[in-house]
C-alpha cells in the first residue's frame, strides 16, 4: 500500500467516525465503532469496516442504516478531505473483533489461569532487584 493510500485511509477513518458519531441520527445505526478503512489504489472505492456489540439482527440494522447514510457521508467526506473525487463508500461488518473475542474465550477455557499472588506476599523492593 502506498503512503498516499494509507494516509487517505487514515483520514477517511477519522472523518467517517466523527460523522457517524455526530451527524448520523438514524436509530438503526446505534453505537458503532469504525475499526478500519481499506481504500483502493486509485482512491475511488473505500470499504469502511465497523463493529457493534449486540445481536446479529442489531448488527444487520446498523449495516442498513450506515448504507442508507453512505451518500450523505460521501458528500461530507468530499467537503472535509480535499480529494479530486470522493470515494464510493461501502460499509462492512468487521468480523475480526468477534472472532478474536471468541478465540480468547476458547483459550481461557483450555489454558488454566495462573493463580494470582496472595496479598500476603510483599512486592519486591529495590534491594531484591539488585
The answer to the question of residue 43 being in a domain is: yes
* Domains held by the chain: number: 1
The answer to whether the CB of 94 falls within 8 A of the CB of 48 is no
Instruction: Give the model confidence (pLDDT) of 49-105 as tens digits.
Output: 999 988 889 999 999 999 999 999 999 999 888 888 889 999 999 988 777 778 888
116 inside domain: no
Per-residue pLDDT tens digits for 98-121: 777 788 888 888 877 665 555 556
Count of CA atoms in the C-beta half-sphere (13 A) of 105:
6
Q: Where are the alpha helices (DSSP H) in 23-95?
A: 56-80
- 104 in any annotated domain: no
Q: Give how far Cα 68 sits from Cα of 22, 45, 47, 79, Å.
A: 16, 17, 15, 19
User: What's the CATH code of the domain at 71?
Assistant: 3.30.300.20
**Looking at the domain assignment, is residue 44 inside a domain?**
yes
Residue-number span of the structural domain to which 15 is assigned: 3-94
Amino acid at each position: 500500500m502506498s503512503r498516499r493510500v494509507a494516509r487517505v485511509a487514515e483520514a477517511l477513518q477519522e472523518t467517517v467516525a466523527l460523522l457517524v458519531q455526530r451527524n448520523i441520527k438514524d436509530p438503526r445505526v446505534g453505537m458503532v465503532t469504525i475499526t478500519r478503512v481499506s481504500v483502493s489504489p486509485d482512491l475511488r472505492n473505500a470499504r469502511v469496516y465497523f463493529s457493534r456489540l449486540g445481536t446479529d439482527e442489531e448488527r444487520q440494522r446498523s449495516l442498513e442504516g450506515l448504507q442508507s447514510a453512505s451518500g450523505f457521508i460521501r458528500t461530507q467526506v468530499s467537503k472535509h478531505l480535499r480529494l479530486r473525487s470522493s470515494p464510493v463508500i461501502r460499509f462492512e461488518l468487521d468480523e475480526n473483533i468477534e472472532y478474536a473475542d471468541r478465540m480468547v474465550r476458547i483459550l481461557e477455557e483450555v489454558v488454566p489461569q495462573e493463580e494470582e499472588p496472595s496479598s500476603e506476599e510483599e512486592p519486591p523492593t529495590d534491594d531484591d532487584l539488585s
